[in-house]
Every structure is written in structure tokens, then in C-alpha cells.
């Protein structure tokens, strides 16, 4: 779990989820930068596994006991809704980050994941022959962000003459994902392309393809970045990846939470843009600044 301590009551809680430590680190950095400007402190904890929704409930309760007056939350499931409503009723607002599950949250700041998935499908269609065979990975039913990406991808792929030969749950951690991805790739050795919809599945896919060692790698487009992913793309191991702006998400969400506490108007929903990164643009200054490496 991510953790940072707070000794003051003028603090906000930042409760992150699973799927990629580097991504959440950038969210927290953005939140911290905004908190510094506001003379606030943040208390940050997170879960490594998207399936551990009970831990998020316990984390929120623990942070509230420290006197924090609001939350940024990446909710792992609907199990958080009752607590969010309970806190809101006593004047402790919650802003959702990265995904939205409804309920009594005051605002949502997230990537338009459905649209990002559509963009990946269009990129793969450009890079593969007609009726190309495609593999799609998913993490867990509770992962709302990944589900939205995959739904956007599949809906668009079906209109573009792409043949999805598998659309499988592979788990939330790199180790378990790698084992399942390797099995899927061995079952479909001639697959034309694969979509890995978050940091962990992208890392696991690269590692699985390396281990299999086929001379002709499928077109691989991932999601989110770390140094391993960026270096792999630079070396031609994947065609590219979608990158979010988690720093901006954390920064703007903290500012929104503070405005809520001051009873000032905010936008209820803010989409943080995602962009496609490949070897043609990853070194451009306006792009490289968004990469986690």
C-alpha cells in the first residue's frame, strides 16, 4: 500500500486503486502539488489489487479518524458508495478520480476511457490487414476504468472488420497476468494484434512476448507508461500506448475538492485527455513530459 502520514486536521485523503504503481504515484504527485499551493496536507494510501474493495473502506475510515475533511477516491467497486454517502451527509465530500460509479460523489475527474478504447481500435485497424485477428485483455470485473476501455475498443473493432478471437480476464497483478497471457498467446500463435488496457497488463504482455520469442510479434498497443514500457516501445516491442495525465488529474481533483469545501462552484465531470504515444512522437517535449519513465 502507498502511505503518507498526516499530523494535522487540515488534510485531504487520497485513496488510490490498483493497476499500476507508477500511474498512481503521478496522481499523488499532482495532488501533493495542489495541496502545497493550498497550504493543506494529504494522507495517501492505496490498494495494490482492484479486488480489495473492503480495504478501501477501511482506509477511508482510518484517514477520517485523522481529521481529514475530504477525499479523492478511485473507487474499486460499488461497496464504497454507502461510506461516500455517509461521509457526505456529515459534510465530508468525496471527489472520484480515474473512474465513476455514481452515488453521492461531488465531482468526477477521469480519462474518457471509452473514447480512449475507441482510439486504440482505430489505431490497430490502421496497422493490421483487413479481418485481422485481435486479442483483448481485461483485468477484473470490478475495474471500471479498464472495462470502459475494453468496451470502447470492442464496440469500435466490431465496426471495423476486426476479428476478436479472445477477450479474457487475466488478473490484476503482473505475475498472474503474465502466466495467463502466455497461455493465450500460445493458443493463438498467429494473432495479428493485442490490446493490453492498463500498465500491469502491458508490462505482462511485453514480458510474455519476449519469453515466447516468436520472430514476428503481433501489433501490440498498451495503456499507461513506465520506464519498461517506454523503453520497450523505443526498441520496437510494441506499436505504442495510450497515456493519461495522472498528474493533472490529481492536481485538478484536489483543487476541485478544495473549492467544494469552500462552497464554490465546480464542474461535476471533467475529462482528462489521453493521447497515443509511439516512436514518432514520444520524444517531443509536449509528449515526453507526460510519460512516466
Supply the pLDDT for residue 285. 83
Supply the pLDDT for residue 1. 40
168, 198, 184: which is closest to 20 by C-alpha? 198
* Residue 243 to residue 8: CA distance in whole angstroms: 35
Supply the pLDDT for residue 65. 93
Encode pLDDT of 213-246 as tens digits.
888 899 999 999 899 999 999 999 999 999 999 9
* Residue 5 to residue 20: CA distance in whole angstroms: 22
The gap between the terminal CA atoms of the chain, to the nearest Å, is 21
Supply the pLDDT for residue 293. 52
Supply the pLDDT for residue 3. 39
121, 173, 115: which is closest to 145 by C-alpha? 115
pLDDT, mean of each 10-residue run, the chain (293 residues): 50 89 90 97 88 89 95 93 97 95 96 95 96 96 89 96 96 93 96 96 97 92 94 96 94 97 95 93 84 62
Is-contact 229 199, C-beta < 8 A? yes
Supply the pLDDT for residue 2. 44
Backbone angles phi, psi at 237, to 5 degrees: -85, -20
Domains of the chain: residue spans and CATH: 11-111+245-272 (3.40.50.2300), 113-224 (3.40.50.2300)
Cell of 115: 473514447
Cell of 44: 495517501
Cell of 124: 490497430
Supply the pLDDT for residue 68. 95
CB atoms within 10 A of CB 201: 29
Supply the pLDDT for residue 4. 47
Supply the pLDDT for residue 5. 44
* Residue 75 to residue 46: CA distance in whole angstroms: 10
Supply the pLDDT for residue 291. 77
Amino acid at each position: 500500500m502507498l502511505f503518507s502520514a498526516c499530523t494535522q486536521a487540515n488534510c485531504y485523503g487520497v485513496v488510490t486503486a490498483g493497476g499500476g504503481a507508477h500511474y498512481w504515484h503521478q496522481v499523488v504527485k499532482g495532488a501533493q502539488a495542489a495541496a502545497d499551493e493550498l497550504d493543506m496536507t494529504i494522507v495517501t494510501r492505496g490498494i495494490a489489487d482492484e479486488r480489495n474493495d473492503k480495504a478501501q473502506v477501511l482506509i477511508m475510515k482510518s484517514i477520517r479518524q485523522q481529521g481529514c475533511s475530504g477525499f479523492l477516491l478511485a473507487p474499486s467497486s460499488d461497496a464504497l458508495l454507502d461510506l461516500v454517502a455517509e461521509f457526505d451527509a456529515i459534510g465530508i465530500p468525496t471527489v472520484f478520480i480515474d473512474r465513476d460509479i455514481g452515488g453521492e460523489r461531488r465531482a468526477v475527474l477521469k480519462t474518457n476511457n471509452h473514447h480512449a478504447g475507441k482510439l486504440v481500435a482505430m489505431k490497430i485497424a490502421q496497422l493490421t490487414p483487413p479481418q485481422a485477428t485481435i486479442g483483448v485483455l481485461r483485468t477484473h470485473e470490478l475495474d471500471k476504468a479498464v472495462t470502459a476501455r475494453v468496451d470502447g475498443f470492442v464496440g469500435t473493432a466490431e465496426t471495423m472488420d476486426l476479428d476478436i478471437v479472445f477477450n479474457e480476464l487475466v488478473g490484476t497483478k503482473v505475475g498472474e497476468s503474465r502466466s495467463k497471457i502466455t497461455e493465450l498467446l500460445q493458443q493463438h500463435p498467429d494473432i495479428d494484434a493485442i490490446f493490453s488496457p492498463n500498465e500491469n497488463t502491458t508490462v505482462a504482455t511485453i514480458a510474455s512476448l519476449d519469453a515466447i520469442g516468436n520472430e514476428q510479434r503481433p501489433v501490440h498497443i498498451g495503456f499507461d507508461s513506465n520506464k519498461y514500457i517506454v523503453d520497450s516501445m523505443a526498441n520496437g516491442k510494441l506499436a505504442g500506448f495510450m497515456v493519461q495525465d495522472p498528474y493533472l488529474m490529481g492536481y485538478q481533483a484536489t483543487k476541485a475538492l478544495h473549492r467544494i469545501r469552500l462552497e464554490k462552484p465546480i464542474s461535476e465531470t471533467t475529462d482528462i485527455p489521453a493521447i497515443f504515444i509511439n516512436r514518432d512522437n514520444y520524444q517531443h517535449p509536449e509528449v515526453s513530459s507526460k510519460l512516466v519513465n
